[in-house]
Structure 1
């Protein structure tokens, strides 16, 4: 009796999901950790608190992946909210400082848990016009994506190698373009340290959690918690389920929300802003390239979980290296990492002609960075976009 091709186990096919899982973790970590550190620092974290946040995110999403992938036998991968970190970078420090930001992270975790327990809340988020949500995200991303241009102008010798490496890899291996850009940035930092008098702070190389008691201010709730929750749901969790569906997997929605919500809640005091279902990197573990047999691809997500635990041990060293970077280098890496996300957000925001006026207004206000009553531009952008949308709809 012949054995179906999907059931043939060769040494190569057995190792395939393991290598796919390692690649998933490496690409996910190196392509956006600079955005996470930039966002946490922008809302008031010092270098130790930002490093702690990166550690907390790695550990909580790793534990979530290990449990969900093994329990459901699906390649369910989790990630930190990269759009959410970009939003933090644009929000800046709010009333109450870092403790208030931590309080907002706690609220986001609680809101995600509530989404899993109360389906109507998920439907309410899904009812937000996608064009406006994507326009808000694009506006938040624009200043960050301009950073490579400005950095290239201000520090061409330090930034040009990073941009050049990214450009070359975009031609030959786009998946590795941002990780390679970070590798080039690391070389630039190493050269700067070797030629300067200041060295790395070796005491900060070991990972440690820096726990902050949360505080709650209404400015942080409106300016950080609400936009962060909306962006995480609309740009990560909902697309993440769609990506998995495209490969034939039906993600268990309620358990996924409970796991990511609890993970966010637990990691928040240590500085973790939000974890969620992976969207872009989900395909690395769920696609046929991870294994020809869909029933074996869960091993890729399981391996990615273990890989993230290893990367967690490196989080403090990476954060210390970033802190020693010449001005503009880290910002350039973060901006390059977000170009694809910006392009996708703009395309989605402007795709529907009927939503275009509201989307453009939302984009402009979010990109302006204006703060009113201590509340950042992301919230006001969404409010203004909804008002314009109602006005335009009534006119028609």
Structure 2
């Protein structure tokens, strides 16, 4: 396959493994928050796999760069926290709206201007606040299954020391193996081997939901996925086509939103797995790993029903633990970035605490209000400094 090497295959498969094992539990929580049917849940996995597979494949082949795309894991966490009580049709409308914002950002070329409007410290604080509940869930699961969760935490710690790129995959394998050996799986749920089929949900556009879910989904994805994704590629020596990529991911989000493809973006953490010298000494050949990832992601999408059934069989403690442990690194990085700038530290703290509180007004969720409160605090303090 056009000079494909073993390193291209292994580097291409690794982001798929890390992506699914590291965030599928968060996706599952988002699906549950919107009270999706089994068919709709299968469709979500189909749309997410096919969407990031084909978008990454197209970008890699056109630009000959390792432009890996992914679903928005922080976006899924936002949906899981803020989506309860929102009808599926209105949530889908918010997803379409978010995709439209991505497309407008790409077409107008205002990515850099938009990122400057939101201070990085406040964006990081909002993300940390959204993910905080998931991290806490891993430790709350200790009450349900202390031996299982402690074993998973020990595996994560060992992975951080000796095999950081595979730490989350190892945590999932150890947790799943322990449950299999101890009969901890839900015996009432039958394993289903079937091909996932897309299920259309007609979007409804409710202004309050667009503001409380669609806008935060856009902000979180732009600040925590697209911005770091661009930085990862630039640090590897590439000049990615930012606007073109935003156009592709925006269109992909809009087209697949009715099927559950809530948001697609630059891959951030997993992008480093395909853009380094481990993939290929020649930087011009590393895009082939993304082609491999695209094929495997698309294939995984069609087997979304299998993935869903596996998680339905899993005990709640396993799902809570893997979701929380997988996000510990992101929470750490977000809190570090939020508190790193002394000038914006107070504003970032207000943003973080407000988002963690979960308080909402006028059907607009805590992430938006937290960001607005943080901006207000920053405005007042900056005026005092001047």
SS in 1 for 2:205: coil
CA distance in 2, matches of 1:14, 1:205: 32
CA distance in 2, matches of 1:313, 1:187: 25
CA distance in 2, matches of 1:193, 1:209: 33
Call closer, same or farther: CA 1:363–1:245 in 2, change over 3 Å.
same
Contact 1:162 1:181 (C-alpha < 8 Å) held by counterparts: yes
Structure 2: runs of 5 or more not aligned? none
CA distance in 2, matches of 1:246, 1:19: 22
Post-superposition Cα deviations, 1:138-170, rounded to whole Å, max 9, x if no partner, equal 011111100111001232244333333333322
Residue from 41, 60, 68 that aligns with 1:50: 41
**How many pairs were matched up?**
383
1:42 CA drift (Å): 1.7
1:328 CA drift (Å): 2.3
Q: Which residue of 1 aligns with 2:25?
A: 34
Residue from 308, 323, 338 that aligns with 1:349: 338
2:285 aligned with 1:296:
yes
1:355 CA drift (Å): 0.2
Residue from 299, 307, 312 that aligns with 2:301: 312
Measured on the aligned residues, the alpha-carbon RMSD in Å equals: 2.0
1:219 CA drift (Å): 2.3
Call closer, same or farther: CA 1:207–1:185 in 2, change over 3 Å.
farther
2:121 aligned with 1:131:
yes
CA distance in 2, matches of 1:124, 1:199: 46
SS in 2 for 1:186: helix
1:52 CA drift (Å): 1.7
Contact 1:53 1:267 (C-alpha < 8 Å) held by counterparts: no
Call closer, same or farther: CA 1:122–1:54 in 2, change over 3 Å.
farther
Q: Which residue of 2 aligns with 1:235?
A: 224
CA distance in 2, matches of 1:161, 1:208: 36
Q: Which residue of 2 aligns with 1:80?
A: 71
Taking structure 2 as the reference length, the TM-score comes to 0.94
1:217 CA drift (Å): 1.4
1:88 CA drift (Å): 1.4
CA distance in 1, matches of 2:256, 2:18: 22
Alignment of structure 1 residues 253-264 onto 2, 5 Å: 253-264=242-253
CA distance in 2, matches of 1:192, 1:321: 16
CA distance in 2, matches of 1:48, 1:163: 33
CA distance in 2, matches of 1:130, 1:278: 18
2:329 aligned with 1:340:
yes
1:94 CA drift (Å): 4.4
Residue from 254, 266, 272 that aligns with 1:283: 272
Moved over 6 A (4+): 192-196
Contact 1:237 1:277 (C-alpha < 8 Å) held by counterparts: yes
Q: Which residue of 1 aligns with 2:7?
A: 16
Taking structure 1 as the reference length, the TM-score comes to 0.91
Structure 1: runs of 5 or more not aligned? 1-10
SS in 1 for 2:265: strand
Contact 1:74 1:297 (C-alpha < 8 Å) held by counterparts: yes
Post-superposition Cα deviations, 1:194-252, rounded to whole Å, max 9, x if no partner, equal 876524153x7431222211112122111111111011111111211111011111111
Contact 1:115 1:122 (C-alpha < 8 Å) held by counterparts: no
Contact 2:27 2:73 (C-alpha < 8 Å) held by counterparts: yes
Residue from 231, 249, 261 that aligns with 1:272: 261
CA distance in 2, matches of 1:388, 1:94: 30
Q: Please, which moves more after superposition, 176-185 or 301-310?
A: 176-185
Residue from 184, 194, 200 that aligns with 1:211: 200
Residue from 89, 101, 105 that aligns with 2:80: 89
Q: Which residue of 1 aligns with 2:131?
A: 141
Q: Which residue of 1 aligns with 2:190?
A: 200
